[in-house]
């Protein structure tokens, strides 16, 4: 049977980084937390590259970017609809004015 991939929470990873920065050796930290010795250094590097987006878990970054792209597309669509409606209203007002002029001419004649 294959091994199950372990998942670590953001809080756990941050606590490991804090312990690493406090001066505990990587090997001791790995034994204490039952993790591979390469993980603390990798987590620390990832955290310092972008603290806000690190450890978002299970593709949440991509989900947020996809949601943002969808909202931007929707804004563009709404803008196009608004412009279309502006033109339609302007055309209707022009037609109404022409009809009003025609009715006035018939009444005057």
Per-residue model confidence as pLDDT tens digits over 90-108: 999 999 999 999 999 988 8
Backbone phi and psi for residue 4, each to the nearest 5 degrees, phi listed first: -90, 135
Contact yes or no for 16/40 (Cβ under 8 A): yes
CA–CA distance, 105 with 13 (Å, rounded to integer): 82
Measured between its terminal Cα atoms, the distance across the chain in Å is: 97
In this prediction, residues 64-91 reach a mean pLDDT of 94
Domain ranges of the chain: 8-55, 59-109
Supply the pTM of this predicted model: 0.50
Tabulate helix, strand, coil % of the chain (nearest 5): 75, 0, 25
């Amino acid at each position: 049977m294959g091994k199950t991939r372990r998942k670590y929470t953001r809080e756990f990873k941050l606590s490991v980084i804090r312990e690493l920065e406090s001066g505990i050796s990587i090997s001791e930290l790995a034994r204490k937390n039952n993790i591979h010795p390469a993980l603390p250094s990798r987590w620390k590097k990832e955290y310092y590259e972008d603290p806000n987006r690190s450890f978002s878990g299970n593709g949440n970054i991509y989900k947020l970017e996809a949601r943002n792209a969808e909202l931007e597309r929707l804004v563009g669509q709404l803008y196009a609809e608004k412009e279309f409606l502006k033109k339609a209203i302007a055309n209707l007002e022009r037609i109404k004015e022409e009809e009003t002029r025609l009715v006035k001419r018939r009444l005057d004649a």
